[in-house]
Amino acid sequence: MRHIFWAGDSTVATNKASTYPQTGIGQAFDRFTAMDVCVCNRAVNGRSTKSFIDESRLAPIYDEITKGDFLFIQFGHNDEKKNDPSRYTDPHGEFIVNLGKYVNVARNKGAYPVFITSVERRLFDENGNLKPSEHTEYVKGMKEAALEFDVPVVDLFTMSRDFLTKTGDEASKKYYMNLAPGEAVWAPEGKIDNSHLKYEGAMLYAGMIAKGLRELGGVYASLLADDELNKETTNIEING
């Protein structure tokens, strides 16, 4: 059995019934994997590359990951929080240094690291145009780290941003959380949560990651179920 260990934030994390219908990308990803692949989703809400390490959440992955496994590394949303020193990292400094620590965990155990850029937030202006992204410098930083550490990248940011641009403000709402009064604290009551995903959104973006892995080929493509349904699912929403 091969394992995908996933380090990330709330856009990736597994949810329980108490937060339904919120669904993380890592929670949905096993719909796309081969029968010999097990997803070990260690993503936690609100974490950055820094706080995930500081809270000793990377160390257990090091203890469990083995040769031939994979470490998917997907951060950015919380590294951006300048007003929170426990989470903030400079996108071209500490963020890259931290990403290198995740790479070392994988490679020291004979596993394969994979960088996955942040999924885009659903933020449109009054004219229905997708706003400039807060993720941009962190996407650049992750790509810089990919070159420095020779790690493959699945560019979910670009794929998700292209999708939102094509789909538009109203039609894209069904993929993101719709909050009922008192349901959550990260958005005003009754408003769309533009960061967190419903099951439909988790499946959509998990499919994009599967598409990226298929394009990488080799051992990365071998993680995916080799059937026509999955191949179609990874393209249906992206290509329309």
Catalytic residue among 55, 64, 148, 189: 189
User: What residues does each domain of the chain span?
Assistant: 2-239
Residue that has been written with the tokens 């191949």 in this structure: 231
Active site residue 189: yes
Q: How far apart are CA 103 and CA 125, in angstroms?
A: 37
Q: Which residues contact 47 (CB under 8 A, 6 or more apart)?
A: 8, 9, 55, 57, 75, 78, 87
Could you give the C-alpha distances from 11 to 27, 41, 69, 143, 182, in angstroms and in order? 10, 12, 22, 20, 20
Average pLDDT score over the chain: 91
Instruction: State the catalytic residue, choosing from 3, 77, 135, 196.
Output: 196
> 88-131 pLDDT, tens per residue?
999 999 999 999 999 999 999 999 999 999 999 999 999 999 99
Q: Please state, in angstroms and rounded to a whole number, the distance separating the CA atoms of residues 212 and 238.
A: 12
User: Per-residue pLDDT for 189 more than 80?
Assistant: no
- Rounded to the nearest 5°, which phi and psi values hold at 6? -125, 120
Phi and psi at residue 72, to the nearest 5°: -90, 125
Cβ atoms within 10 Å, residue 21: 14
**Candidate list 10, 118, 172, 195, residue with the active-site label:** 10
Residues 114-173 have pLDDT tens digits of 999 999 999 999 999 999 999 999 999 999 999 999 999 999 999 999 999 999 999 999
Query: Which is it for the CA torsion 193, 53, 119, 145, positive or negative?
Result: positive
Q: What is the 3-state secondary structure (H, E, C) of the chain?
A: CEEEEEEECCCCCCCCHHHCCCCCHHHHHHHHECCCEEEEECCCCCCCHHHHHHCCCHHHHHHHCCCCCEEEEECCCCCCCCCCCCCCCCCCCHHHHHHHHHHHHHHHCCCEEEEECCCCCCCECCCCCECCCCCHHHHHHHHHHHHHHCCCEECHHHHHHHHHHHHCHHHHHHHEEECCCCCCCCCCCCCEEEEEECHHHHHHHHHHHHHHHHHHCHHHHCCECCCHHHHHHHHHHHHC
Superfamily of domain 2-239: SGNH hydrolase (3.40.50.1110)
On the question of pLDDT at 238 being above 80, the answer is no
Look at residue 234 and tell me whether its pLDDT is greater than 80. Answer: no
What local confidence, expressed as pLDDT, does residue 68 receive? 98
d(CA 45, CA 228): 33
Percent of the chain with pLDDT over 70: 88
Does the active-site annotation cover 196?
Answer: yes
